[in-house]
Amino acid sequence: MNDAVASVQSWKVTLPCTRAEAEALDGEIAAFALMERPPVLMTSEAADDETVWRLDAYFEGKPSPAAIKLLKTLVPSASGTKPLIEALPDEDWVTMSQQGLEPVTAGRFHVRNIASDPELPGYVNLLIEAGRAFGTGQHETTVGCLAMLDRMRQVGMRFRNVADIGTGTGLLAFAALHLWPRAHAIASDIDPVAVEISADNALENGIRLGDGAGRLALVTAAGADHAAIVGRAPYDLLIANILAGPLIELAPSLCALVEDGGTIVLAGLLNEQADGVIAAYRAQGMRLAERSNRGDWPTLRLRKRPSIGWKRPRRINSAARGEAPGFGSI
């Protein structure tokens, strides 16, 4: 997902597992989703015996007994095995844990995490190398957002002013600019490391930085609390791929930034959290226009209902409704 990694002591927990258990752990695990910093899970087979597999879980900070107990429930074959728990040296453990990730294809986008992996002809190829920030495209929520944005473009939606709140590596903002190349765009993250990584990734992927049309502005901000974010409002498209709690807490401020008829794409929540998130945004004048699920992770597209009276916001461009006629416009 779109979070950045703090500089804290990292730990690794290793357990044996079967191949079937390893295959079932593909992607990130819903059981850890409510943790502030969930572990990164990696599985691998023994070099000399393909029937022997192992699970390595990388934690930021020493894992609690509850976290280790939860981890063991993912690999029942190791129920009687004592896990190997070790502190890691002060190295870039995110990079180490994400080496060997397979490319991801969603809609027209093909996201690679290793430069040596070949590009896919006929797709928009993006390179987001494993590094100091999360958001490489592997998580189901990021894939869901990429697919949602691509589908919105396919049905003719047009956007001119885009915000990506909690950008992580910048991937979703890059995708939006590929889909709507004349849009103004801004991306933010609470962690300055993520903003630095996003700038590096922008350079790698040919995304121009700056304030003009077709360019991406990057800022460090908690939620939408930044003069540049507020000053560029109202937006006709706002993307937020963060956790359910912050999404609910930020609902008033995010919705206030969106113009009448504008669109918000939300992700980072679990299926059982969707009703609460939807209710929070309905209370701010949004309606659910589309929901797509990838496993336990839904992606929500909401549209802002027109307001009335003197508080009604003015659009930057009256033609930029954020949704083409015939696709659910009020």
271 annotated as ligand-binding: no
**Is residue 167 located within the same domain as residue 297?**
yes
317 annotated as ligand-binding: no
166 annotated as ligand-binding: yes
Amino acid at 58: Y
CATH of the domain at 206: 3.40.50.150
**Is residue 32 located within the same domain as residue 145?**
no
pLDDT tens, residue order, the chain (330 aa): 444 434 567 888 999 988 888 877 755 566 676 676 778 777 777 655 556 788 888 888 899 998 999 999 989 999 889 999 998 776 554 554 445 456 888 999 999 888 888 899 999 999 987 654 444 444 678 899 999 999 999 999 999 999 999 998 899 999 999 999 999 999 999 889 889 999 999 999 999 999 999 999 999 999 899 999 999 999 999 999 988 889 999 999 999 999 999 999 999 888 899 999 999 999 999 999 999 998 888 999 999 998 654 344 444 443 433 333 322 222
Q: Report yes or no on 40 lying in a domain.
A: yes
**Is residue 286 located within the same domain as residue 148?**
yes
241 annotated as ligand-binding: yes
**Is residue 174 located within the same domain as residue 283?**
yes
Residue 290 host element (H or E): strand 286-294
Per the structure, the count of domains in the chain is 2
- For residue 321, the model assigns a pLDDT of 37
Alpha carbon 105 to chain centroid, angstroms: 15
Separation in Å, CA 4 to CA 9, 75, 91, 160, 202: 15, 28, 16, 28, 17
**Pairing relationship of beta strands 40-46 and 49-60 according to DSSP bridges:** antiparallel
Residue 214 belongs to what domain range?
Answer: 140-304
**Is residue 149 located within the same domain as residue 85?**
no
